[in-house]
């Protein structure tokens, strides 16, 4: 009889009977009883009352019974931690059992019992099992370390288990190596800052050797680990690629995708001129094609990954178009994904084939699929100019079928074709107008109205056509109403005499009878334009439209690079970085592709990277952005902003956000609001800023001022001379070789309360540069340009121009690492360029940073001692007065000075633009060139950067 009988009992008083059976002397009866207990537990009955009786059954040689008891233990140990301790002795004993299966079982179960009290007893047995002679026990123990680390990280580090895990990477058994890698990767993921997987060429060699021999999941762990390694040069990258390539022919699709990920990442480092580069491209196509012969669900995952690969390297699959042709029995999700890839691969060479296929799809029965196919024909026309004519005639054939939804999609698409190729295909307008009555979808109606308004001068009865739409104006969707308003105004500007009534009718409908604010506003703007300055109205409404770009749905490059690093994971299916969908990700590490060959050898740490290092070479400083970067090229620059800074971003409204923040998970919504004078931006996350004391500090914290320190502060108040703060010499931020000939060098300064970025733009290219614009990414202190980047004349080759760009601190806030990191995008008529630089914190020290003495005392006492940090400033031979005046020039104010046992003590305060106060005590010994600096602040993470500012100011 099968074990199903254990699930069928419904007796009352069952627990009592089971208790008796568990304590029976007969082994068989005991086993039966434990099976019944497990069955009850599985269906959700509470059998925790039997805990001591089940634990007594642990003392057995029967492996099956032991497994069942361990299963029970794992389930109930959390609710009965005191009872669970009874089982510890048996665990320890089982870890010494001659049977390796029992040793492994014991250590596995101990790792699954998440009870703090038990973990310390676990350490000794685990240490023995990590060094066990049997590889099965060692591989189980490796995973147990990761589980234990999750329960008590400090304990694992203190016991030295992490070092033992690192040693296991050199184990002779490939499965042990794979599990050690998996465990270390898991731990490293939860602690991104710890450099656990410290990979070097020797350990990589061991991993590659183990790769050939371990199970498929072991291979995936190792490949994922390899993908995080940064080879020191292209030769090492090539040798790793050569050894990973055989994995492409593995039967498991997950192994194949992990291998593709490693190759895609390391290909970045190979020069395109290498023969090997071409060979690798050829080798990558067959495994990807093979994935498409799997079942539909796997096909979909493969297609989503291929979609990313094709955007990054279309040359891999350019000859494989036929594989993506849709089969009649493909599920809709596979069909739509294949269509997308077909368009990405469309080129002059295969366009005839693609169009014939798409025309076929447009006659299918599945409405969603047909719509997408018709859109695809339009996208092909826009992408491959030579095929545009053929696409338009195909679309006209489809319109002739008179199938309603086909006609509507075709009209939407033709509107885009007109935008891309003006004055070329307008002859088809007559055919479109014939189908006017059949349009019932807002998007199609809006597209048709746009066409009629745009080409009103070519359509004799344009006014009648638009009037027919006007009859049911209030029943139309907003999209159609807005389009109709603009189209009639265009018509009026082109044929003013015969359409005056029509335009008055639509303006009164839009402004007086409508309750939609967008429509009303647009109506009033047109009304005022037409009534005050018809010439201006013509320039605005009939302005030349920019051509639409070819691929509008490409993933933005930095996001694409990050997603390539996540091939074969959920991120590659969602096309979103993990931080966008993993709840409470403890420390999502943003990944990026390595720099292309010829750039620096490896990522520098944020502290050592020179501030002018360009973005691509500083993966550790620039986090890739999660949201889409807007296209900087359509930044429309408004006039310079005058007057007081507004509490909004100062880039003109028409500008698309170049660096859209993808790190929203780090910023709580409240941080978007500027805090009032004393509060600091509330940035979430561990070690975060907390609100600084308000400038009117609490009065109740001060000690009675007559005591002790009270009479120290007898310094006469008074503002020092305005010598201006220290300005560092300019350094190169963006070298010409990284920015197609544009070199940018600069520095930051603060003069009389205003911050500026002093730039030198040098044109080292052979063409003239113009249309400059600049935008900053969100940063720790909300730095943003206070005016557009003004370069008054085009920049000729070999010419330089100096610009002082005013900055303010009312931009969006996001905590950066390091804190003073600033990511900048600069656009000109050639391209958009990105770089990052570190700004000195003293440009953010405000002029009203001098604290009242009593307030200083009270605040110093109020800030907890653990927030005090001490630094040593070496090789500084100034005396106290020179130090004081030098620092005052940079808005670090001395509040009091006293002499204790021959040492000068300066008490100082400063305030940052976001309201954080920093209090300082500077100890100067006349004979000693080293000063001691103590800083106290409610946001201790700024202290390190304040110390750097002190050092910079005093030594220059």
User: Which 3-state string (H, E, C) describes 243-262?
Assistant: HHHHHHHCCCHHHHHHHHHH
DSSP, residue by residue, 727-740: -PPPEEEE-GGGTT
Query: Are residues 407 and 459 both part of a single domain?
Result: no
Asked if residue 260 is part of any domain, the answer here is no
Number of independent structural domains in the chain: 4
- How far from chain centre, in Å, is Cα 167? 33
Query: Are residues 751 and 791 both part of a single domain?
Result: yes
Task: Output the domain CATH number for residue 781.
Answer: 2.60.40.1150
Could you tell me what percent of the chain has a pLDDT over 70?
83
**Angle at CA of residue 109, ends 107 and 110, nearest 5°:** 65
Total Cβ atoms within 10 A of residue 513: 11
DSSP, residue by residue, 157-197: HHTTHHHHHHHHTT-SSHHHHHHHHHHHHHHHHH-TTS--S
DSSP, residue by residue, 28-75: HHHHHHHHHHHHHHHTT---GGGHHHHHHTTS-S-HHHHHHHHHHHHH
Query: Are residues 891 and 945 both part of a single domain?
Result: yes
Asked if residue 88 is part of any domain, the answer here is no
Query: Are residues 833 and 856 both part of a single domain?
Result: no
pLDDT tens across 293-317, in order?
888 999 999 999 999 999 888 888 8
Cβ proximity of 34 and 65 under 8 Å: yes
Asked if residue 198 is part of any domain, the answer here is no
pLDDT (0 to 100) of residue 588:
56
pLDDT (0 to 100) of residue 703:
37
Query: Are residues 931 and 912 both part of a single domain?
Result: yes
Contacts of 918 (CB under 8 A, 6+ apart): 909, 910, 911, 912, 935, 936, 937, 942, 943, 946
Q: Which of 40-54, 259-273, 383-397 has the lowest mean pLDDT?
A: 40-54
Query: Are residues 418 and 507 both part of a single domain?
Result: no
Query: Are residues 825 and 856 both part of a single domain?
Result: no
In the sheet that holds 754-763, the strands lie side by side as 731-734, 742-751, 754-763, 800-808, 784-785
Q: Out of 515, 543, 571, pick the residue that ends a domain.
A: 543
Asked if residue 532 is part of any domain, the answer here is yes
Query: Are residues 446 and 432 both part of a single domain?
Result: no
Tokens read off for 777: 């990414």
Distance from C-alpha of 633 to C-alpha of 546, rounded to nearest angstrom: 11
Residue 716 reports pLDDT greater than 70: no
| H or E segment and range at residue 16 | helix 14-22
What Rg, from alpha-carbon coordinates, does the chain have? 35
Residue 730 reports pLDDT greater than 70: yes
Residue 625 reports pLDDT greater than 80: no
Quick one: average pLDDT of 272-282? 86
Q: Cβ-count burial of 135 within 10 angstroms (0-12 exposed, 13-18 middle, 19+ buried)? A: middle
Distance from C-alpha of 779 to C-alpha of 812, rounded to nearest angstrom: 7
Highest mean pLDDT among 87-101, 208-222, 676-690: 208-222
pLDDT band at 13, cuts 50/70/90? low
Asked if residue 741 is part of any domain, the answer here is yes
Q: Which of 442-456, 672-686, 878-892 has the lowest mean pLDDT?
A: 672-686
pLDDT band at 260, cuts 50/70/90? very high
At residue 733, what are phi and psi to the nearest 5 degrees?
-95, -35
Query: Are residues 434 and 518 both part of a single domain?
Result: no
Residue 693 reports pLDDT greater than 60: no
Task: Output the domain CATH number for residue 907.
Answer: 3.30.310.10
Helix/strand/coil for 8: coil
Residue 39 reports pLDDT greater than 90: no
Tokens read off for 696: 């009117």
Q: Which of 346-350, 449-453, 642-646 has the lowest mean pLDDT?
A: 642-646
Q: Which of 46-60, 126-140, 168-182, 726-740 has the lowest mean pLDDT?
A: 46-60
- Residue 805 pairs in a beta bridge with 757
pLDDT tens across 872-894, in order?
888 888 888 889 988 988 899 99
Size of the chain, expressed as the number of residues it contains = 956
pLDDT (0 to 100) of residue 663:
31
Query: Are residues 535 and 476 both part of a single domain?
Result: yes
Which of the pair, 423 or 617, is modelled with greater confidence? 423
In the sheet that holds 773-776, the strands lie side by side as 773-776, 821-827, 832-838
Structural domain span for residue 922:
844-955
pLDDT tens across 808-828, in order?
998 888 888 888 999 999 999
Asked if residue 40 is part of any domain, the answer here is no
pLDDT band at 638, cuts 50/70/90? very low
Q: Out of 805, 839, 873, pick the residue that ends a domain.
A: 839
Which of the pair, 245 or 545, is modelled with greater confidence? 245
Distance from C-alpha of 834 to C-alpha of 825, rounded to nearest angstrom: 4
Distance from C-alpha of 139 to C-alpha of 168, rounded to nearest angstrom: 9
| H or E segment and range at residue 907 | strand 903-911
Query: Are residues 858 and 945 both part of a single domain?
Result: yes
Asked if residue 933 is part of any domain, the answer here is yes
pLDDT (0 to 100) of residue 545:
80
pLDDT tens across 572-615, in order?
999 988 888 887 655 456 677 777 654 433 333 334 333 333 33
Query: Are residues 755 and 834 both part of a single domain?
Result: yes
pLDDT tens across 522-534, in order?
999 998 988 888 8
Distance from C-alpha of 447 to C-alpha of 378, rounded to nearest angstrom: 14
Q: Which of 107-116, 352-361, 741-750, 758-767 has the lowest mean pLDDT?
A: 107-116
Q: Out of 839, 858, 884, pick the residue that ends a domain.
A: 839
Asked if residue 98 is part of any domain, the answer here is no
């Amino acid at each position: 009889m099968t074990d199903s009988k254990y699930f069928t009992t419904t007796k009352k008083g069952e627990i009592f009977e089971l208790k008796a059976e568990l304590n029976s002397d007969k082994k068989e009866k005991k086993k039966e009883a434990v099976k019944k207990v497990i069955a009850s537990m599985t269906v959700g009955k509470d059998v925790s009352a039997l805990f001591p009786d089940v634990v007594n059954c642990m003392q057995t040689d029967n492996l099956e019974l032991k497994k069942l008891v361990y299963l029970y233990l794992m389930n109930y140990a959390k609710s009965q931690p005191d009872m669970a301790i009874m089982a510890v002795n048996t665990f320890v004993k089982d870890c010494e059992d001659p049977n390796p299966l029992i040793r492994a079982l014991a250590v596995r179960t101990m790792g699954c019992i998440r009870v703090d009290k038990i973990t310390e007893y676990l350490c000794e047995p685990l240490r023995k099992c990590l060094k066990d002679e049997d590889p099965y026990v060692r591989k189980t123990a490796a995973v147990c370390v990761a589980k234990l680390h999750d329960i008590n990280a400090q304990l694992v580090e203190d016991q030295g288990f992490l070092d033992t895990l690192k040693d296991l990477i050199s184990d002779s058994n490939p499965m042990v190596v794979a599990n050690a890698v998996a465990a270390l990767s898991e731990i490293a993921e939860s602690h991104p800052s710890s450099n656990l997987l410290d990979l070097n060429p020797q350990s990589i060699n061991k991993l590659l050797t183990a790769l050939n021999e371990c199970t498929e999941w072991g291979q995936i762990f190792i490949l994922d680990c390899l993908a995080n390694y940064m080879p020191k040069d292209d030769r090492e990258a090539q040798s790793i690629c050569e050894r990973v390539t055989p994995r492409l022919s593995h039967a498991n699709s997950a192994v194949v995708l992990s291998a593709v990920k490693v190759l895609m990442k390391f290909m970045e480092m190979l020069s395109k001129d290498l023969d090997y580069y071409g060979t690798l491209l050829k080798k990558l196509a067959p495994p990807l094609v093979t994935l498409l012969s799997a079942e539909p669900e796997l096909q979909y995952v493969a297609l989503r990954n291929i979609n990313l690969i094709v955007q990054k390297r279309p040359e891999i699959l350019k000859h494989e178009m036929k594989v993506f042709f849709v089969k009649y029995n493909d599920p809709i999700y596979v069909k739509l994904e294949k269509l997308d890839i077909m368009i990405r691969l469309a080129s002059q060479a295969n366009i005839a084939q693609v169009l014939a296929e798409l025309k076929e799809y447009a006659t299918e029965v599945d409405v969603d699929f047909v719509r997408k196919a018709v859109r695809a024909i339009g996208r092909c026309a826009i992408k491959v100019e030579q095929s545009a004519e053929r696409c338009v005639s195909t679309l006209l054939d489809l319109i002739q079928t008179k199938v309603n939804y086909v006609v509507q999609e075709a009209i939407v698409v033709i509107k885009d074709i007109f935008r891309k190729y003006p004055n070329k295909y307008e002859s088809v307008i007559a055919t479109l107008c014939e189908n006017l009555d059949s349009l019932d979808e807002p998007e199609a109606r809006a597209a048709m109205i746009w066409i009629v308004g745009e080409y009103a001068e070519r359509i004799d009865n344009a006014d009648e056509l638009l009037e027919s739409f006007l009859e049911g104006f209030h029943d139309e969707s907003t999209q159609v109403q807005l389009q109709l308003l603009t189209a009639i105004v265009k018509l009026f500007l082109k044929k003013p005499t015969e359409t005056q009534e029509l335009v008055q009718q639509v303006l009164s409908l839009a402004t007086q009878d409508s309750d939609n604010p967008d429509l009303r506003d647009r109506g009033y703007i047109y009304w005022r334009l037409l009534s005050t300055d018809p010439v201006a109205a013509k320039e605005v409404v009939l302005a030349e439209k920019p051509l639409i770009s070819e691929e509008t749905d490409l993933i933005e490059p930095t996001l694409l690079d990050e997603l390539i690093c996540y091939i074969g994971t959920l991120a590659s299916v969602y096309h979103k970085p993990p931080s966008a969908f993993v709840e409470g990700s403890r420390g999502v590490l943003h990944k990026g592709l390595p720099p292309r060959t010829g750039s620096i050898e490896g990522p520098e740490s944020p502290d050592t990277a020179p501030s002018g290092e360009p973005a691509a070479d500083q993966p550790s400083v620039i986090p890739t952005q999660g949201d889409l970067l807007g296209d900087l090229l359509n930044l429309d620059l408004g006039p310079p902003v005058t007057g007081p800074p507004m509490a909004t971003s100062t880039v003109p409204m028409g500008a698309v956000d170049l660096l859209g923040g993808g790190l929203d998970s780090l910023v709580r919504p409240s941080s978007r609001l500027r805090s009032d004078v004393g509060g600091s931006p509330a940035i979430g996350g561990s070690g975060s800023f907390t609100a600084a004391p308000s400038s009117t500090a609490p009065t109740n914290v001060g000690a009675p001022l007559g005591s002790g320190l009270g009479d120290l502060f007898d310094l006469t108040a008074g503002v020092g001379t305005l010598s201006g703060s220290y300005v560092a010499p300019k350094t190169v931020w963006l070298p010409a070789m990284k920015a197609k000939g544009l070199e940018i060098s600069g520095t930051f300064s603060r003069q009389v309360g205003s911050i500026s970025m002093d730039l030198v733009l040098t044109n080292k290219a052979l063409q003239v540069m113009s249309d400059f614009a600049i935008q900053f990414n969100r940063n720790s202190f909300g730095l943003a340009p206070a005016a557009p980047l003004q370069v008054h004349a085009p920049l000729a080759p070999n010419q330089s121009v100096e610009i002082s760009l005013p900055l303010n601190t009312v931009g969006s806030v996001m905590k950066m690492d390091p804190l003073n990191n600033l990511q900048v995008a600069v656009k000109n008529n050639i391209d958009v360029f990105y770089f990052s630089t570190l700004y000195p914190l003293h440009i953010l020290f405000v002029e009203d940073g001098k604290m009242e003495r009593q307030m200083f005392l009270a605040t110093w006492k109020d800030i907890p001692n653990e927030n005090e940090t001490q630094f040593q400033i070496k090789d500084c031979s100034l005396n106290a007065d020179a130090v004081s005046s030098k620092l005052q020039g940079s808005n670090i104010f001395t509040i009091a000075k006293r002499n204790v046992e021959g040492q000068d003590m300066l008490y100082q305060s400063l305030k940052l633009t976001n309201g954080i106060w920093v209090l300082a005590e500077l100890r100067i010994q006349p004979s000693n060139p080293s000063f001691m600096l103590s800083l106290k602040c409610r946001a201790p993470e700024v202290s390190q950067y304040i110390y750097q500012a002190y050092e910079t100011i005093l030594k220059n």
